[in-house]
Amino acid sequence: MGEFDLIARLVELVRGAGAAPESGGRVIIGSGDDAAVTEPARVTATSVDALVEGVHFRRETAPLESVGHKAIAAALSDLAAMGAAPGEAYVQLGVPTDLDEAGAVELGKGLAAAAAANGVAVVGGDVTRAPVLFLAVTVVGHAPSPDELVSRSEAEPGNVVVVTGELGGAAAGLLLLDRSDLAAAAEADDLRRRQLAPSPRLAAGRALASNGATSMIDVSDGLGGDALHVAEASGVRIAIDLERVPVQGGVAEVADAAGVDPVRLVAEGGEDYELLATLAPGDLDGARAAVEATGVSLTEIGKVAEGTGATLRLADGSERETSGFDQLRR
């Protein structure tokens, strides 16, 4: 299958995704011209994210449909962390010679399903040969004004730290995928799905943005590292109480079976794609109600203080400084 056939097949597969009603932008020219032409809202948020075979996934353990899904979801998680409404996606594929048409269809289905599920139109892309499969995704979100978006850099001393949903599931799912010897927890399927097909918290992100979030980031590198990113960008100190962090069901069992400290899965695992935000204490109840209305929980897990760095307080009362998680060391 040549490039144009493959593009045509992939375009056909993602076309069903369409422009979502919640998109703030209007697509004037979609896929197939030199560039996609859109009429955006007043402000756009744009983020890029790449998945590379052998680095971020292995085809032996990750079905191609989930690879397509995750590429879109991981990119959109950054828009969720700004509080932007999802708009358009652009997908650059590097395709190895051992990916056949059936594989391309599976990949395309995952891309299309994730785009449709999250209200995104795939309006451009590029397919090229490559020695391994890679997906480089660009997503554009919209907002009516800059004030409605939330950066990492405005957390204030006195704020509370909150997190959506539950953590640790993606890291536990990865352990289950990599080690078939682990006794399967009752929640094994949920945990593997959390790793393979995460859900970006777009609605929760907009709820937080419009209910007082002073800073926000998605938990993609790991809770400790992402808290540190916010602390550094905002010039504050963040203290997280790990005992208060909601842990996904089955994570403790998987950690136990694997002989891994569960704290590592919860605080360092990353890829849960939940949102970590800061709020004035007076905004907490309103934000919680707004986030819960999107079907996701919101939990207070720490405090913002003057100073620098980020700490995690463990069950035994000890505190440890967090450091950034470095993907290039993977």
Mask 207-236, x = binds a second copy (CB under 8 A)? Answer: ---------xxx--------------x---
- Which among 274, 164, 273, 157 has a CA at the least distance from the CA of 211? 164
Count of CB atoms situated within 10 Å of the CB of 280? 15
Q: How far is CA 201 from CA 139, 164, 238, 256, 301, in A?
A: 15, 8, 22, 29, 18
Q: Please state, in angstroms and rounded to a whole number, the distance separating the CA atoms of residues 272 and 221.
A: 9
Q: Among 17, 67, 71, 84, which residue sits at the site for a second copy (rule: CB under 8 A)?
A: 84
Q: Which residue's structure tokens are 């700004």? A: 82
78 belongs to the binding site for a second copy (CB under 8 A):
yes
144 belongs to the binding site for a second copy (CB under 8 A):
no
274 belongs to the binding site for a second copy (CB under 8 A):
no
250 belongs to the binding site for a second copy (CB under 8 A):
no
281 belongs to the binding site for a second copy (CB under 8 A):
no
Q: Among 134, 170, 200, 219, which residue sits at the site for a second copy (rule: CB under 8 A)?
A: 134
The nearest distance, CB 53 to a second copy, in angstroms, is 8
Q: Among 128, 157, 295, 308, which residue sits at the site for a second copy (rule: CB under 8 A)?
A: 128
CB 189, CB 291: distance < 8 Å = no
CB 7, CB 95: distance < 8 Å = no
DSSP assignment of 263-323 equals HIIIII------EEEEE-GGGHHHHHHHHHTTT--EEEEEEEESSSSEEEE-TTS-EEE--
Options 50-58, 171-179, 180-188, 260-268: segment touching a second copy (CB under 8 A): 50-58
Binding footprint of a second copy on the chain (CB under 8 A): 1-4, 6, 28-29, 32-40, 42-50, 52, 54-56, 78-79, 81-82, 84, 88, 90-92, 94-95, 123-132, 134, 136, 138, 140-141, 146, 149, 151-153, 216-218, 233, 324, 326-330
